[in-house]
């Protein structure tokens, strides 16, 4: 029987064989102002780590956001310029700049969070969501419904992005406002806010690490070879990988165990149990509301108004998050062991252009700066990226410009799934390899 492993789900858990990733900070940690860099000690490594956050010392707010509260300081060799003469640029080489260099290039106003501006985006999206539903229900014909499903699934994805900002603390400096808005937005699209927020924090703190990254990380060759053909087809054949997210929430990625709904999951620290329970209760309330609406409106109407747009939103989420870390025309590195650092891992992420949809989904395609500094509000990401490009140099991969709609990205996705299959079990700087037998 297939193990039913998709890119972000594993129905039959595979025993963990890797060290536990950085998942948070100790409850007694304190924090400095976002313009300074402090030093703390990781639970999982002896290397020093830097903290860049805007939270007060008097309250332990860092566990409420997905900001990278741990950043590994660059080694001395990361400050050396890659003197390789006229040889081809090596994206896996240590960069000649540091996190501080990038931060210094970004204008100070890009870090400012305006809760009124953030709430205006929420109001805009909510009005559009209900307006689309009202129009579709009013006309109720098979010409309007497909158009509605496409538009509404995109708007559900936009709601997710705003809730995602709440989870990072880039929505506002008010942790209660972030939590309330985040729960309302994410619960409405069946996402457990705190459960996802914490695992996404782990993703940011370990991005680009083969074993410790939380989502869309490569399979090792050993695990890949152990999968049966049906499982490989589910993982690498469209559209199955684009339907992975709900299964990932329940059972995480291959090789890992736990659930975003269970307070005792390995994803969470002991003092985060109440947060996880709260989010699971909110998720359950939304599920119960949908069941109730099925009795009052009829299950077919709920399916048309909510069910199909929900699965469209899932496809948006899987598409965008996958393409942030895969599919560039030049192979990009993944790391393990001492070669990994927060900076080098972040530089393996990719910006993508979605054409007209950029504004609709709040410029989430501007992803490199977001991964390095998730405290920056989404409405300042483009300006921050432009300011940082001279520092990045060749380490920044300029995205291909999209037409009105980003149909070109479907080809990028298909090509990546065809060739990006696994990485070696050995080595510390790794690149995707292709199973030629499968192709």
Q: How far apart are CA 48 and CA 101, in angstroms?
A: 19
Q: What is the pLDDT of residue 241?
A: 92
Residue 413 contacts residue 327 (beta carbons within 8 Å): yes
Tokens encoding 132: 């689309």
Residue 439 lies in a domain: no
Q: Is the pLDDT of residue 70 over 90?
A: no
Mapping DSSP to helix (H, G, I), strand (E, B) and coil, where does residue 6 land?
strand
What number is the average pLDDT over the span 220-246?
A: 89
Q: What is the pLDDT of residue 87?
A: 64
Q: Is the pLDDT of residue 381 over 60?
A: yes
Q: How far apart are CA 33 and CA 98, in angstroms?
A: 19
Q: Is the pLDDT of residue 255 over 80?
A: no
71 vs 378, more confident: 378
Residue 210 lies in a domain: yes
Q: How far apart are CA 406 and CA 403, in angstroms?
A: 6
Confidence of residue 217 (pLDDT cuts 50, 70, 90): confident
Instruction: Work out the end-to-end distance of the chain between its first and last CA atoms, rounded to an integer number of angstroms.
Output: 22
Q: What is the pLDDT of residue 34?
A: 37
Q: The whole model's pTM is what?
A: 0.81
The rounded mean pLDDT for the chain is 84
Q: What is the pLDDT of residue 257?
A: 82
Q: How far apart are CA 219 and CA 424, in angstroms?
A: 9
7 vs 393, more confident: 393
Q: How far apart are CA 339 and CA 334, in angstroms?
A: 9
Domain limits for position 250: 5-430
**Cβ density class 191-224: b for 16+ within 10 Å, e for less:** bbbbbbbbbbbbbbbbbbbbbbbbbbbbbbbebb
Q: How far apart are CA 358 and CA 409, in angstroms?
A: 13
What number is the average pLDDT over the span 367-380?
A: 97
Q: Is the pLDDT of residue 32 over 80?
A: no
437 vs 324, more confident: 324
- DSSP state, residue 16: P
Q: How far apart are CA 267 and CA 205, in angstroms?
A: 13
Residue 437 lies in a domain: no
Q: How far apart are CA 241 and CA 150, in angstroms?
A: 19
How many domains is the chain partitioned into structurally? Answer: 1
Angle at CA 296, nearest 5°, toward 292 and 297?
A: 110
List the single range of 39-43, 383-387, 412-416 with lowest mean pLDDT: 39-43
- DSSP state, residue 423: B
Q: Which residues pair with 433 in a beta bridge?
A: 422
Q: What is the pLDDT of residue 21?
A: 57
Q: 334-335 and 429-430: which strand pairing?
A: antiparallel
Residue 438 lies in a domain: no
Tokens encoding 406: 């980003």
The answer, yes or no, to whether the previous bond of 177 is cis (omega within 30 of 0) is no
Q: What is the pLDDT of residue 92?
A: 93
**Cβ density class 157-184: b for 16+ within 10 Å, e for less:** bbbbbbbbbbbbbbbbbebeebbebbbb
Residue 291 lies in a domain: yes
Residue 28 lies in a domain: yes
Q: What is the pLDDT of residue 9?
A: 38
Residue 375 lies in a domain: yes
Q: How far apart are CA 13 and CA 27, in angstroms?
A: 30
Max CA separation in the chain (angstroms): 71
Mapping DSSP to helix (H, G, I), strand (E, B) and coil, where does residue 270 land?
helix
Q: What is the pLDDT of residue 16?
A: 43
Residue 435 lies in a domain: no
Confidence of residue 357 (pLDDT cuts 50, 70, 90): very high
Confidence of residue 274 (pLDDT cuts 50, 70, 90): very high
77 vs 184, more confident: 184
Q: How far apart are CA 334 and CA 428, in angstroms?
A: 8
């Amino acid at each position: 029987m297939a193990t039913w492993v998709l890119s972000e789900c594993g129905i039959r858990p595979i025993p963990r064989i890797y060290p536990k990733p950085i998942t948070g900070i100790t409850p007694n940690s304190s924090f400095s102002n976002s313009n300074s860099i402090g030093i703390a000690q990781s639970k999982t490594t002896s290397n020093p780590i830097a903290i860049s956050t805007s939270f007060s010392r008097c309250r332990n707010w860092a566990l409420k956001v997905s900001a990278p509260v741990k950043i590994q300081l660059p080694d001395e060799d990361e400050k050396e310029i890659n003197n390789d003469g006229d040889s081809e640029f090596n994206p896996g080489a240590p960069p000649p700049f540091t996190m501080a260099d990038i931060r210094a290039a970004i204008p100070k106003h890009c870090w400012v969070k305006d809760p009124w501006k953030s709430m205006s985006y929420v109001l805009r999206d909510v009005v559009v969501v209900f307006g689309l539903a009202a129009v579709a229900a009013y006309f109720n014909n098979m010409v309007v419904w497909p158009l509605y499903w496409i538009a509404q699934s995109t708007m559900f994805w936009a709601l997710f992005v705003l809730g995602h900002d709440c989870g990072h603390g880039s929505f506002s400096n008010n942790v209660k406002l972030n939590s309330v808005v985040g729960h309302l937005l994410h619960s409405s699209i069946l996402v457990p806010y705190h459960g996802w927020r914490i695992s996404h924090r782990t993703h940011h703190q370990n991005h680009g690490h083969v074993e410790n990254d939380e989502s869309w990380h490569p399979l090792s060759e050993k695990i890949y070879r152990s999968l049966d053909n049906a499982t490989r087809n589910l993982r690498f054949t469209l559209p199955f990988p684009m339907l992975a997210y709900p299964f990932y929430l329940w059972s995480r990625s291959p090789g890992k165990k736990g659930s975003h709904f269970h307070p005792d999951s390995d994803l969470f620290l002991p003092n985060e149990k109440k947060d996880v329970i709260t989010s699971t209760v909110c998720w359950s309330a939304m599920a119960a509301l949908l069941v109730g609406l099925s009795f009052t409106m009829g299950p077919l109407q709920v399916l048309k108004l909510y069910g199909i747009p929900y699965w469209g939103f899932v496809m948006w989420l899987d598409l965008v998050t996958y393409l942030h870390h895969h599919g560039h025309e030049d192979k990009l590195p993944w790391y393990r062991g001492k070669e990994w650092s927060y900076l080098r891992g972040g530089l393996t992420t990719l910006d993508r252009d979605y054409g007209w949809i950029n504004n609709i989904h709040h410029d989430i395609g501007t992803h490199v700066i977001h991964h390095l500094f998730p405290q920056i509000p989404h409405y300042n990401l483009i300006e921050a990226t432009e300011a940082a490009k001279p520092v990045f140099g060749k380490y920044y991969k300029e995205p291909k410009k999209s037409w009105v709609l980003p149909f070109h990205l479907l080809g990028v996705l298909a090509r990546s799934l065809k060739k990006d299959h696994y990485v070696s079990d050995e080595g510390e700087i790794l690149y995707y390899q292709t199973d030629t037998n499968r192709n």
